[in-house]
Amino acid sequence: MKPSRPWYTRPWLHITLIVVVASLFRLWHLQSLPPGLFGDEATDGLDALDVLAGRGAVFFPANFGREGLHMWIVAGAFRLLGVTPLALRLPSALAGIATALAAYWLGSELLAVYWANQGGQETRREAAPGPLRQLISLTPLLAALILATSFWHVHFSRFGIRGVFTPLCGALAFAAFWRAVRVSEANASEAPKAGARSAALRPFAWFVVSGLLLGLATHFYTASRFLPFFLAGFLGVEWLIAAVSRRGRQALLVRHFWGLVLLYAAAALVFAPLGLYFLQHPGSFTQRAGEVAAFGAANPWVRMGQAAVANVLQFFAPGRGDPEQFYNFPRRAVFDPLTAVLALAGLALLVWRWRRPAALFLLLWFPALLLPSFLATDRWPTLPRVLGVIPAVYFYPAIGLAALAGGVQALVWRRRRAGATPAAALAICAAALLVHGGLTYRDYFLRWGPSQATFDQFEGDMITAWRWLEDHPAGDHVYLSSDIYRHPTFMLLYERATVQTYFDHYDPGLSWYDARAVLPLPPPGDTATYVVGSSAPLPVQAAAGAPQRYLAPTGSVPAPDGSDAITLYRSKGEDPAAAFVPMAPVPFTGQLALTGAAVNPLPDGSHELVLLWQTAGPDPGGWRGYRLEVEGRAMFPFDAFRPPEWTPGGRFLTWHRIEGDLPTPATLRLRLWDPRDQQPVAVPGAPDGWHTVALP
């Protein structure tokens, strides 16, 4: 009879523990943390709406171009759950849970290959059948649990972007690869028996599965394209080591050549639709990389060296992590100090066993999938571009922890206190995991998630505006103030626009503006509701008290720090023309005329130029807005209330800071520049665009 396995080595227990822990960290308060919806998430959601509208594709060119499979998955979630942040993020959360399980499978396959007798060169410890070997067999579980409780992976599992699918596909593909290797070598070592033909075909099936998954990975994220090249590089290096050691025939590349041919053929087949798209649209293949590549900058090799150092240090050095609030708890290293020490110990052990294929595989995975962050040098360190090192990087602390616990177990074993051996070793593992997971819980759920900075970075004001308008349908026109025109977060959740209809979308009940520079007013006799987001608030003083004169506050919704996420106003209906000296309308375009102008002195000696404009109707082609030039003074942005938002008979106020003295009365020359052709806007009577305006 086979001896019973200790309870702590049973796979069903491991799988249950991994699922429970990974699910708790990824699904707990998923509907509210992160507290908003980041613009990149929203853009993927807009593309998913295109999929639901029958305009699906393998590649979506918006936002520098993105592979399309994630959008199809999100579209399915929208169909089931509705267009909500939860539906957008749930696929990523489920992928994160699956990645923890895939890491466990990969670790089990790597460990099985590692334990396999290769030429009778196992050490006494490796061959030991007792509790020590059983403890080392926990390495896949430790790696999966460290991954499941890692701040980095938890965050990207709760972030509705496509990058988190790269480690999932990579882990599954490489687990299938090592399963194929193990099954093939097991078949070769066994005597022929009944059913040998089906057994011989089994490893080829696993090679095909591995290739299908590698091809699938390329449909998610740009960095996934490095996975097949990493595998090829590993096979080449392993063959070279074997050849130098005069064991060339034992190299994986030689022993499994035809299986590898099938693997890459299957990967190419799955990649083919995307590859065909890139052949037809060659610019899309390098569009994103071209924006951030080092070779477009001065001293590219120096920049790549700096990026390499920074991106390695972000894993181990406290305070050297990704500084961006929307990707990380700023400057938090991937590993906490304890886990970093264990990871370095694990790396040292892998280097010690570098001739073993399993150890070499984990060693090479890290630098190979860090390569995208070395080549893209617009910023460093950066966590999204190194997602491909997951799950390999979490095996390093797992190996270090298993070695530490194994050393304690061996010491106790030598003193013949076998009864205490499992408890002591398991307690060490549990303590390290609790420290790692506890720090992640504190940093993510108690510090990063509820912070005002995270609320702001994840467009919390737009989420708040969406929810308020859903709960309080306006009976009149709504003016929404935002720092981004047609903010994708709001356009997804409230307007339900798609990327294809984004620029042409028109909502007769809603207009966009930026309250920091403009105040649109409804036509005379009409009322309006103003929803002012915290990203574009009303200035304290502007346009001679224009906000206070024309708007009445009606309420607000608080942000996490107690400030206003959105502030609500109603128009008073006061005629703005009464604040200006009457003047004949001055036409600047066919849809825009100036009907009032004034200058107000400011305490610092500068002046505020206040202008009252009247609109004849929208200009859909003026999506980018105009620029306003004051002769001899300055060029001002004129896009706080853009031409597509103009209405017949509508009016709006703008205010502009003028440096220096102005005589009273004064005369200014103004003109608009059209960014579409970089030319002044000419109208009859002003062929050069200049208009003379007398100021009281």
Reported as a single tens digit per residue, the pLDDT across 252-261 is 999 999 999 9
Q: Which residue has the tokens 């206003």?
A: 564
Both structure tokens of 478? 């709504």
Three-state DSSP state, 99: helix
HEC letters along 430-455: HHHHHHHHHHHHHHHHHHHCCCHHHH
Extract the tokens encoding 439.
């720090």
Beta bridge partners of 556: 567
Q: Find out whether 418 and 131 touch, Cβ atoms under 8 Å.
A: yes
Q: Distance (Å, rounded) from C-alpha 439 to C-alpha 445? A: 10
pLDDT at 121: 43
* DSSP class of 160: -
| Tens-digit pLDDT profile for residues 41-76 | 999 999 999 999 999 999 988 877 889 999 999 999
Percent of the chain with pLDDT over 70: 90
Pairwise CA distance, residues 236 & 259, whole Å: 15
With bands split at pLDDT 50, 70 and 90, how would you rate the model's confidence at 122? very low
* Counts for the chain of helices (H) and strands (E), in that order: 23, 17
Note the pLDDT of residue 413.
Answer: 64
pLDDT at site 633: 83
* 523 close to 652: Cβ distance less than 8 angstroms: no
Q: Which amino acid is at 578?
A: A
Place of tokens 């206190």: 417
Report pLDDT for 582. Answer: 82
Half-sphere exposure of 644 (CA within 13 A, CB side): 18
Q: Are strands 650-658 and 528-533 parallel, antiparallel or unpaired?
A: unpaired
Per-residue pLDDT at 190: 60
Determine which of 321-325, 397-401, 571-575 has the lowest per-residue pLDDT on average: 571-575
Is the confidence at residue 120, as pLDDT, over 50?
no
Name the least confident of 21-30, 49-58, 114-123, 218-227.
Answer: 114-123
- Segment among 71-80, 109-118, 516-525, 610-619 with least mean pLDDT: 109-118
Q: Which of 327-341, 452-466, 663-677 has the lowest mean pLDDT?
A: 663-677
CA pair distance 492, 47, nearest whole angstrom: 10
Decide: 596 and 576 in contact? Cβ < 8 Å. Answer: yes
Residues of the chain with CATH 2.60.40: 578-695
Identify the band that residue 685 occupies on the pLDDT scale cut at 50, 70 and 90. confident
pLDDT at 563 over 80: yes
The residues, any chain, with a CB within 8 Å of residue 657's CB and separated by 6 or more, are 602, 606, 607, 608, 609
- Of residues 642 and 247, more confidence is placed in 642
**Contact at 8 Å (CB) between 672 and 589?**
yes
Cα–Cα distance for residue pair 561/582, rounded to 1 Å:
45
pLDDT of res. 168: 97
| Average pLDDT of the chain to the nearest whole number | 88
The pair phi, psi for residue 572, each rounded to 5°, is -85, -20
Alpha-carbon distance values, 191 to 195, 200, 319, 489, 599 (Å): 12, 12, 57, 63, 97
CB 550 within 8 A of CB 522: no
Name the one residue in this structure whose structure tokens are 């002046």.
607
Q: For residue 321, give every residue at least 6 positions away whose Cβ sits within 8 Å of its Cβ, in sequence order, or none.
A: 314, 328, 329, 330, 331, 332, 333, 334, 381, 383
Q: How far apart, in whole angstroms, are the C-alpha atoms of residue 181 and residue 206?
A: 9
Q: Give residue 126's pLDDT band: very low, low, confident or very high (50, 70, 90).
A: very low
Q: Could you read off the pLDDT of 172-184 as tens digits, one per residue?
A: 999 999 999 999 8
307-350 pLDDT, tens digit per residue, is 899 999 999 999 999 999 999 999 999 999 999 999 999 999 99
CA–CA separation, 27 and 480 (whole Å): 32
Domain 578-695 has CATH 2.60.40: yes
Q: By three-state DSSP, how is residue 691 classified?
A: strand
pLDDT of residue 292: 53
Specify the range with the lowest mean pLDDT, choosing from 274-283, 289-298, 402-411, 552-561: 289-298
Report the C-alpha gap between 165 and 325 in whole angstroms.
21
Q: Which residue has the higher pLDDT, 273 or 8?
A: 273
> What are the distances in angstroms from CA 500 to CA 25, 54, 268, 415?
36, 11, 30, 72
pLDDT of residue 132: 65
Reported as a single tens digit per residue, the pLDDT across 131-153 is: 667 778 899 999 999 999 999 99
Span 489-512, mean pLDDT?
A: 92
What confidence tens digit (pLDDT) does each residue in 257-285 have? 999 999 999 999 999 999 999 888 887 76
- Lowest mean pLDDT across 12-26, 189-203, 469-483: 189-203
**What H or E segment, with its residue span, contains residue 338?**
helix 337-352
Predicted pLDDT of residue 307: 87
Least confident window among 78-92, 120-134, 455-469, 564-578: 120-134
